């Protein structure tokens, strides 16, 4: 009987999803991408003229296609109050010990931010190496071993202990413990005054240039509460600079990476003092999530919704590379926004409408740490317990149609059988995360929704390009990440082939339509970290 119910569930979902979903246009997506990635928008940084142009454009396009305002006070806007902290080039960082003193060069050797949201902050504290800086009871792992590090500067690596066992730190797949965001959160929990991550390309998953560009401009933060603890300095040093720092204490990067991989690791006092003076420009940021809704057709279910999301922001204006200082973010993420608008246009044309409503959410400040989606998750326009799924679109390469697709995180949800069935209908092979060691699940806005209990995942185009030899798409993917990710060269070109975006947008619309028509709300699979939150929201 159970197998028959599953078969019927899949058959009905597939039938619902097959209706009227063909009308997705690569050329309409192109028009949106071309405008949003134009120099006129100056890289779409939150709280800037270019960012506000993007917000107004998105709202106008949602109105044009027939999606209704879903934001505050009858508008398309959900205000996200943030504080902008922009580190200044006259900031200084040095290490001093028995072997002398080293001054690190801003951008070339160190980047970082004063997270206390003040215009000036100083540190003068002992340095202690804490491995990967992880406390993970479920893996019987503690890099601190009860050592008091209050008031000290932590020196550590990003990532986590290497593993091939999926039950131990996710095997090849990076868990949240490996993310740099966790490192700084844990540093606050243990009372450190600062934290310095030593960058290596293997542990970070990207080169120093990405860190340099991502950390050199303004970062948005939620305003601190009175007496809320934060780090006076949270930053990175390059591998070369990290080697110098550790060398002053008599260690090498490779040596301490090996030590950090042991369960028996204990914090190592470096007998160095880290001194720093950090200047910042501080301002209140007025920025917005853009929200539009197309109501569902079932009076009993229209108060529930499927979320389609994409972040609209990028890095704005930053350090010049080959004379260009505008970080346009064409792939990241004008593409996702173009697909979002096109799905909204399609959805408005569906007759009859799906049973549940569709909420189209273009979120701000993803590049600064998923701030916009996190704010939405804490101030939802549709309660998480009434949200079926959240389907996120983030970063699509313009190289044409593929035979495969990635639904990052969908395998963790009870919606996965529907995803599998609709992929087969669409002629797509579902591929796992191509870079599980990068921790991609924790790096995009669906993670914010997941933390609120919503079954959430991101769609990504595959790399098996139609009409191309095996490995060709993977080569293009790696080339983009090495040369253009978070660079001014992520710019729109007229010769781009956006047919792959059309393909994935159509698949995403099929998934959303199926979710909107299900009798019961999907949830997380047994054992998943977000299941308890989902159940607490009222979904069983």
Give CA–CA dist 334/35, Å, rounded: 9
Distance CA 241, CA 98 (A): 18
pLDDT at residue 2 in the model: 41
- Residue 351 CA to residue 463 CA, distance in Å, equals 34
**Distance separating the N- and C-terminal Cα atoms of the chain:** 21
Name the helix (H) or strand (E) containing 493.
none
How many whole angstroms separate alpha carbon 154 and alpha carbon 463? 39
Handedness of CA 268, 125, 98, 132 (dihedral sign): positive
Separation CA 277–CA 129 (nearest Å): 21
Architecture of domain 85-282: 3-Layer(bba) Sandwich (3.50)
Token pair 């002629």 is found at: 427
Q: For 387-429, how does the pLDDT look when each residue is reduced to its tens digit (9 = 90+)?
A: 999 999 999 999 999 999 999 999 999 999 999 999 999 999 9
Q: Which CATH superfamily is domain 2-66+295-460+489-536 in?
A: Zn peptidases (3.40.630.10)
Contact by Cβ (8 Å): 195, 183: yes
H helix intervals, 146-294 = 180-189, 201-204, 208-215, 239-248, 253-260
Q: Which residues contact 283 (CB under 8 A, 6 or more apart)?
A: 47, 83, 84, 86
Mark out the alpha helices in 179-334 (DSSP H runs).
180-189, 201-204, 208-215, 239-248, 253-260
Please state the domain extents for the chain.
2-66+295-460+489-536, 85-282
Between CA 540 and CA 532 the distance in angstroms is 10
Element spanning 279, H or E: strand 268-294
Residues contacting 267, CB < 8 A, separation 6+: 128, 129, 130, 131, 143, 144, 145, 147, 149
Evaluate whether 2-66+295-460+489-536 and 85-282 have a shared fold.
no
Beta strands in 138-182 (DSSP E): 141-142, 153-157
Q: Which pTM value belongs to this model?
A: 0.89
Low-confidence ranges of the chain (pLDDT < 70): 1-20
pLDDT for 421 equals 98
Residue 322 φ/ψ, nearest 5 degrees: 55, 40
Residue 412, C-beta contacts closer than 8 angstroms, at least 6 positions apart? 455, 457, 524, 525, 528, 530
Helix (H, G, I), strand (E, B) or coil at 475: helix
Q: What is the pLDDT of residue 7?
A: 46
pLDDT (0 to 100) of residue 14 = 52
Question: What three-state secondary structure class fits 239?
Answer: helix
CB 143 within 8 A of CB 190: no
189-194-197 Cα angle (round to 5)? 100
């Amino acid at each position: 009987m159970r197998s028959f119910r599953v078969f019927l569930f899949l058959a009905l979902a597939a039938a619902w999803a097959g209706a009227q979903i063909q009308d997705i246009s690569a050329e309409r997506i192109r028009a949106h991408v071309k405008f949003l990635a134009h120099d006129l928008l100056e890289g779409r940084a939150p709280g800037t003229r270019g960012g506000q142009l993007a917000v107004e454009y998105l709202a106008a396009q949602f109105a044009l296609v027939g999606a209704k305002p879903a934001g505050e006070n009858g508008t398309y806007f959900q205000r996200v109050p943030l504080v902008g902290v922009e580190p200044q080039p006259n900031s200084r960082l040095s290490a001093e010990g028995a072997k002398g003193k080293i001054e690190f060069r801003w951008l070339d050797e160190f980047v970082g931010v004063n997270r206390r949201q003040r215009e000036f902050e100083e540190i003068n504290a002992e340095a202690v190496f804490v491995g990967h800086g992880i406390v993970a009871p479920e893996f019987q792992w503690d890099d601190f071993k009860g050592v008091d590090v209050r008031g000290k500067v932590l020196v550590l690596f990003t990532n986590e202990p290497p593993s091939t066992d999926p039950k131990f730190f996710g095997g090849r797949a990076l868990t949240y413990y490996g993310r740099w965001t966790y490192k700084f959160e844990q540093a606050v929990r243990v009372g450190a005054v600062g934290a310095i991550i030593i960058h290596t390309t293997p542990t970070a998953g990207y080169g120093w240039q990405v860190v340099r560009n991502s950390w050199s401009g303004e970062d948005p933060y939620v305003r601190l509460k009175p007496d809320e603890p934060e780090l006076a300095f949270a930053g990175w040093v390059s591998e070369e600079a990290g080697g110098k720092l550790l060398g002053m204490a008599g260690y090498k990067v490779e040596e301490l990476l090996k030590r950090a991989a042991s369960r028996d690791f204990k914090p190592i006092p470096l007998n160095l003092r880290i001194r720093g003076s950090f200047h910042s420009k501080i301002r209140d940021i007025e920025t917005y999530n853009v929200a539009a809704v197309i109501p569902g057709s079932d009076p009993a279910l229209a108060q529930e919704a499927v979320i389609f999301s994409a972040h609209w922001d990028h890095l704005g204006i930053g350090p010049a590379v080959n004379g260009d200082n505008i970080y346009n973010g064409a792939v990241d993420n004008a593409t996702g926004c173009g697909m979002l608008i096109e799905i909204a246009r399609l959805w408005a044309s569906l007759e009859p409408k799906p049973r549940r409503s569709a909420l189209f959410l273009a979120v701000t400040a993803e590049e600064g740490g998923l701030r916009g989606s996190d704010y939405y998750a804490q101030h939802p326009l549709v309660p998480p317990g009434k949200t079926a799924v959240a389907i996120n679109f983030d970063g699509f390469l313009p190289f044409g149609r593929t035979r495969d697709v990635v639904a990052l995180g969908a395998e963790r949800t009870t919606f996965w059988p529907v995803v599998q069935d609709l992929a087969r209908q669409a002629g797509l092979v579902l591929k796992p995360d191509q870079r599980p060691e990068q921790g991609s699940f924790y790096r995009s806005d669906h993670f914010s929704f997941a933390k609120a209990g919503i079954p959430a995942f991101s769609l990504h185009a595959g790399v098996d390009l139609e009409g191309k030899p095996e490995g060709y798409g993977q080569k293009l993917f790696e080339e983009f990440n090495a040369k253009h990710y978070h660079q001014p060269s992520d710019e729109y070109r007229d010769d781009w082939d956006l047919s792959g975006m059309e393909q994935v947008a159509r698949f995403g619309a099929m998934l959303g339509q199926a979710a909107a028509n299900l009798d019961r709300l999907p949830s997380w699979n047994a054992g998943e970290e977000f299941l308890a939150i989902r159940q607490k929201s009222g979904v069983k």
